[in-house]
Amino acid sequence: MRAFTYERATSVQEAANLVAAYPNAKFIAGGTNLLDLMKLEIERPARLIDVNGLELDRIEATPEGGLRIGALVRNTDLAAHDTVRRDYGLLSRALLAGASGQLRNRATTAGNLLQRTRCPYFYDTNQPCNKRNPGSGCAAIDGFSRQHAVVGVSDACIATHPSDMAIAMRALDATIETVKGDGTGRTIPITDFYRLPGETPHIETVLEHGEIITAVVLPPPVGGRQVYRKVRDRASYAFALVSIGAVVQSDGTGRIAVGGVAHKPWRSEEAEAELANGPGRAAAVLMADARPTEQNRFKVDLVERMVAAIFTEARG
């Protein structure tokens, strides 16, 4: 870990300004991801701006009938929130499928969205990795790639986004509210929030430097049966090989967001339209452009089987 300065921001704007002013500054929320990466010198900020005191920890109803979740709401509190449990069960389930109780007590909504990949080569600074060290190559593509992405991959990177919560947020069509250093704010639909790796796998979202997430907003409840199914080698405390967040309506239509298969939560409205022709069709469209490696081909089968099972079960 490199030496860094640490400051507590007293307002959202101040936080944004402080980070925007220094190319090497970063926000810190729960620190459960950032500090681990700093210890290994994968992240090397010279300046940390702590956003924990910013009172962004409220969950409130929106005039539209949705829910505004402050960026600093802890994963534990969000999962346990009555409205979330009643109307957005998918989100609660996804959160509780992630990490451990201790980590969820600390982890925040914004930090969770921005957690970085768990690619083992990304974590080993002796190895080439375009995400950690742009232009150095990707050790995973011809290496150990069992956990890696199968869709939306590039020749530069096949990493996945590891968040469970983000899958639920994607299925629920959340939007992300931010404030920038110049004082302007924006609302970013989650579908536009994450980027595919392309040539620049080190750039993971559309956020600008110094742009702070203030809240994540859920639209009014969509009803339906809400399922979060996380598949992993052990029963708990592991990242998803594949996870599916689905909303299944009684007429067999619905939404499907898939985790563990791409650089972002994977969802396709086109595929969902195919649900009318059966879940098999929908899954086929969803995974149509899959480019798996020898080691992770099974993920394509897994998605197809899970989608079929989820939609058949929910109807039956």
Ligand X SMILES: Cc1cc2nc3c(=O)[nH]c(=O)nc-3n(C[C@H](O)[C@H](O)[C@H](O)COP(=O)(O)OP(=O)(O)OC[C@H]3O[C@@H](n4cnc5c(N)ncnc54)[C@H](O)[C@@H]3O)c2cc1C
Which helix (DSSP H) or strand (DSSP E) does residue 70 occupy?
strand 67-70
Out of 139, 176, 284, 306, the only residue in the binding site for ligand SF4 (CB under 6 A) is: 139
Nearest-approach distance from CB 117 to other proteins, in angstroms? 12
Contact between 269 and other proteins (CB under 8 A)? Answer: no
Contact between 277 and other proteins (CB under 8 A)? Answer: no
Q: Between residues 23 and 137, which has the closer beta carbon with respect to other proteins?
A: 137
Binding window for ligand SF4 (CB under 6 A); candidates: 74-82, 88-96, 131-139, 289-297: 131-139
Q: Whole-angstrom Cα distance, residue 267 to residue 312?
A: 19
Secondary structure (3-state) at 126: coil
Binding window for ligand SF4 (CB under 6 A); candidates: 117-125, 222-230, 233-241, 299-307: 117-125
Out of 107, 188, 241, 247, the only residue in the binding site for other proteins (CB under 8 A) is: 241
Binding window for other proteins (CB under 8 A); candidates: 82-90, 176-184, 188-196, 307-315: 307-315
Nearest-approach distance from CB 249 to ligand X, in angstroms? 26
- Rg of the chain (C-alpha set): 19
CB 111 within 8 A of CB 43: no
Out of 194, 239, 266, 311, the only residue in the binding site for ligand X (CB under 6 A) is: 239
Residue 150: exposed, middle, or buried by beta-carbon count in 10 A (0-12, 13-18, 19+)? Answer: buried
Q: Whole-angstrom Cα distance, residue 218 to residue 169?
A: 8
Residue 89, token pair as written in the block? 């069960």
Residue that has been written with the tokens 């992630």 in this structure: 98
- Among ligand SF4, other proteins, ligand X, none, residue 136 binds (CB under 5-8 Å by kind): none
Residue 10: exposed, middle, or buried by beta-carbon count in 10 A (0-12, 13-18, 19+)? Answer: exposed
Report phi then psi at 112, rounded to 5.
Answer: -65, -45
Name the residue among 165, 307, 166 with its Cα closest to residue 247. 307
- Among ligand SF4, other proteins, ligand X, none, residue 81 binds (CB under 5-8 Å by kind): none
Nearest-approach distance from CB 89 to other proteins, in angstroms? 19
Q: Whole-angstrom Cα distance, residue 24 to residue 131?
A: 17
- Among other proteins, ligand SF4, ligand X, none, residue 10 binds (CB under 5-8 Å by kind): none
Binding window for ligand SF4 (CB under 6 A); candidates: 93-101, 127-135, 170-178, 292-300: 127-135
Q: Using N-to-C axis directions, what is the helix angle for 279-286 and 298-315, rounded to 10°?
A: 150
Report phi then psi at 115, rounded to 5.
Answer: -60, 150
Binding site for other proteins (CB under 8 A): 1-3, 39-41, 118, 120-121, 123-127, 139, 142-144, 146, 229, 231-239, 241, 298, 301-302, 305-306, 308-309, 312
Binding site for ligand X (CB under 6 A): 26-34, 36, 51, 71, 98-99, 103, 106-108, 110-112, 114-115, 162-165, 212-213, 239
